């Protein structure tokens, strides 16, 4: 009896999860070494690519008669590997016609196909598909075919038929109709199915999936895959966001609903996203400096925005950062030049003349304007929130951290909280500077 046969025989009398890499790792050193040394080269190669052996239970498709498997998990959980392995298993059918859909064409190529956990990397040599980038097509040795699609081009999904699909980062798709077009084409074979791998964000598509009887849901956090992640990831990223709203979403994969009383609703912000920015008549970079410096200091809010001829404001970028005064001043000036801004606006309530001095140390020629808030954050933010509801402010793409801060900011917010909404403050200053007739607002005084 070979080592693999022996392992399989043992597994028949125990729960399936026992037949796994973690089970082998739990064996005493002498038994583990004996097992590994007993493998032939062929057996070792087969075991290396046996996903059921290596996967955690939460990375395997759930049982049942589901049509959609929704894998909601935090950053670094291993969602991409789970999606790629599911597709690899589906591709073993000769007639398989598969759709691979990501937020953009680059995301499909760089993550789902050519990435470290993508289809090319996880396939064994005897089963590796051929990738024809010009045709957006993967072809397996048995004739199974997968076609790459960008969710930014929903019409490309109108017409093609598939019996399986992998949708990555569905919550980052700009156009919900891409999901509708995919489902309408998922009609080949006797059991067409789809896997969705994504970090959750509130949206109508995800909310609908969570209520469907034919959707099986798996969840997981970044900590589930800690053994395979760089220690620096936890030290610099996870620990920074642990305990925050962003951390609950991006690390623990919680689907966060709108905060009661929040000035911005997620649906309004989602509707503001656009991939097209017209020619702008005026561009500003707004800065909300922190009151202090050091590791525990708040972020410096840095937001660029422009005004179109029809009176619509386009938020171009969020360059906010936690850094030394010199570093955030350099970043603000860099944003000023990269967007060819007409003015750099900075709140001076905390720093006074020092704010301008920092900016001038970096570039003496910046067109600078200092503004002083005469009323609280909520009173300054309310008119800007109303403009979003009117559709007069658009976001040039997703600005996740800024948008999360906006959706968490409520009319009951009080000064002196644990986290200052510096990104939001910079946004308000930028929009306020660009809007017509804003100069008469009693809550702001120009310097």
Residues 163 and 79 in one domain: yes
Measured distance CA(346)–CA(324) in Å, rounded: 16
What's the pLDDT score for residue 416? Answer: 41
Residues 63 and 36 in one domain: no
Residues 302 and 415 in one domain: yes
Of 224, 250, 276, the residue at which a domain comes to its end is 250
Residues 65 and 19 in one domain: no
Residues 108 and 239 in one domain: yes
In the chain the first and final C-alpha atoms are separated, in Å, by 85
User: Is there a domain that residue 258 lies in?
Assistant: no
Range of the domain at 410: 266-446
Domain total for the chain?
Answer: 3
Of 191, 220, 250, the residue at which a domain comes to its end is 250
Residues 89 and 235 in one domain: yes
What's the pLDDT score for residue 357? Answer: 92
**Mean pLDDT of successive 10-residue stretches along the chain, which has 447 residues:** 46 45 81 83 82 90 94 92 96 89 95 96 93 95 95 92 96 89 93 94 85 93 86 73 72 74 84 92 94 72 96 96 92 97 90 83 94 80 89 91 86 51 93 71 47
| Helix, strand, coil content of the chain in percent (nearest 5) | 45, 20, 35
What's the pLDDT score for residue 252? Answer: 81
Residues 224 and 288 in one domain: no
Residues 81 and 216 in one domain: yes
What's the pLDDT score for residue 341? Answer: 97
Residues 438 and 301 in one domain: yes
Residues 393 and 411 in one domain: yes
Measured in residues, the chain has a length of 447
User: Is there a domain that residue 259 lies in?
Assistant: no
Helix axes 353-362, 325-338, angle to 10 degrees: 60
Residue located via tokens 């070494």:
33
Whole-angstrom CA distances from 279 to 113, 263, 306 are: 35, 29, 9
Task: Give this prediction's pTM.
Answer: 0.62
Integer-rounded Cα Rg, in Å, for the chain is: 26
User: Which CATH number is 245's domain given?
Assistant: 3.40.50.300
What's the pLDDT score for residue 88? Answer: 95
Residues 32 and 66 in one domain: no
Residues 227 and 271 in one domain: no
User: Is there a domain that residue 18 lies in?
Assistant: yes
Of 250, 285, 310, the residue at which a domain comes to its end is 250
> Can you tell me whether residue 393 is helix, strand or coil?
strand
């Amino acid at each position: 009896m070979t080592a693999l046969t022996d392992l399989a025989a043992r597994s028949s009398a125990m729960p399936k999860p026992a037949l796994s890499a973690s089970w082998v790792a739990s064996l005493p050193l002498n038994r583990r070494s004996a097992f590994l040394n007993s493998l032939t080269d062929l057996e070792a190669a087969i075991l290396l690519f046996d996903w059921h052996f290596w996967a955690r239970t939460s990375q395997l498709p759930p049982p049942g008669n589901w049509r959609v498997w929704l894998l909601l998990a935090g950053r670094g959980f291993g969602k991409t590997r789970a999606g790629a392995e599911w597709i690899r298993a589906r591709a073993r059918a000769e007639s398989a016609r598969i759709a691979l859909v990501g937020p953009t064409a680059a995301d499909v190529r760089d993550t789902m196909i050519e990435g470290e956990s993508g289809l090319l990397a996880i396939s064994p040599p005897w089963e590796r598909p051929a990738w024809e980038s010009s045709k957006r097509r993967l072809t397996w040795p048995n004739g199974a075919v997968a076609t790459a699609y960008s969710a930014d081009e929903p019409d490309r999904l109108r017409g093609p038929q598939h019996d399986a699909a992998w949708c990555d980062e569905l919550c980052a798709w700009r156009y919900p109709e891409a999901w509708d077009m995919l489902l309408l084409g998922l009609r080949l074979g006797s059991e067409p199915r789809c896997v969705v791998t994504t970090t959750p964000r509130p949206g109508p598509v995800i909310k609908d999936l969570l209520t469907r009887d034919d959707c099986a849901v798996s969840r997981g956090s970044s900590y589930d895959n800690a053994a395979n992640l760089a220690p620096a990831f936890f030290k610099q990223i996870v620990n920074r966001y642990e305990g925050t709203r962003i951390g609950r979403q991006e690390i623990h994969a919680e689907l966060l609903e709108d905060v009661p009383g929040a000035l911005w609703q997620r649906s309004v912000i989602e509707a503001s996203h656009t991939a097209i920015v017209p020619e702008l008549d005026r561009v500003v970079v707004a800065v909300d400096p922190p009151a202090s410096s050091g590791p525990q200091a708040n972020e410096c809010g840095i937001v660029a925005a422009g005004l179109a001829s029809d009176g619509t404001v386009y938020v171009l970028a969020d360059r906010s950062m936690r850094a030394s005064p010199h570093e955030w001043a350099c970043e603000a000036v860099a944003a000023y030049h990269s967007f060819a801004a007409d003015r750099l606006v900075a709140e001076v309530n905390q720093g006074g003349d020092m704010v301008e001095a920092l900016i001038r140390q970096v570039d003496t020629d910046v067109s600078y304007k200092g503004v002083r808030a005469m009323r609280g954050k909520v009173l300054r933010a309310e008119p800007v929130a109303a403009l979003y509801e009117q559709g007069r402010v658009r976001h040039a793409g997703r600005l996740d951290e800024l948008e999360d801060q906006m959706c968490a900011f409520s009319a009951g917010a009080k000064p002196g909280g644990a986290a200052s909404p510096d990104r939001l403050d910079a946004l308000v200053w930028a929009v306020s500077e660009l809007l017509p007739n804003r100069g008469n607002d009693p809550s702001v005084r120009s310097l």
